[in-house]
Amino acid sequence: MLSRISLIAAPCAVIALAACAGGGDALRRDVSSLQTEIASLRQQNEALARRLDSLGVRFDALAVRPPRTAPQAEEPAAAAAAPIVPRDLAVVRVAPPKPARSAPRLATAVPVEEPDPERLDALAQPTGRELAVEADGELAAARRKAGVERAHALEAFVARYPRHPSADNALVEAARDYAGAGRTEASCELAARVPQEYPAGDAVSGAREIAASCERSRP
């Protein structure tokens, strides 16, 4: 029974993964579900503890109760009149058995471990597909802007997601936006970064065109 309670309490330590974590509607629903499960497990632990206490009391009562003797069949009146013990047989009185010791009480207290806040924070951080979806959303939002504001947003996107597959293209787009706004120096700086930071990217040719235009415009 104790091992069963320990198995029930163990998920609380891992799950209660779940408190106060942020990072998306789906994750918040998961955390809320985990908190509900922890509360349910706690109630089950309390019910099992009360059940074990009740069983312990019944076990104690049964341990100290004297054994019952089977009722003897009634004998005929003639047999009852005869002596039970022969006259030439010595009768020795036997001391009654000592009452059995009461069984030790079972430990019913089950500690419930609270979730580690650091582990919950780690679980709240976006990873894998969630991170990719978030990055794609920011890139799409940056491309909907115009002019210098669009260039700033694309440059900020590359700074935040330098390993994104479209990071080199975002730099070239930002360089063209700067050039269209008359900010030639900023455009040339971004174009020069593409072959250095993303030499295998498909945006290198576009960056070199902008760099060549920068060289022609210099006195």
Q: Please tell me the number of Cα atoms within 13 Å of 148 on its side-chain side.
A: 5
Q: Quote the CA–CA distance of 28 and 33 in Å, as a whole number.
A: 9
If one looks up domain 126-217 in CATH, what number appears? 1.25.40.10
Query: Model pTM?
Result: 0.43
Q: Please tell me the number of Cα atoms within 13 Å of 171 on its side-chain side.
A: 32
pLDDT in tens, 2-29: 444 444 444 444 444 444 445 578 888 8
pLDDT in tens, 118-135: 544 544 555 567 778 899
- Kindly compute the dihedral angle of the four CA atoms of residues 117, 119, 121, 126, in this order, to the nearest 10 degrees: -170
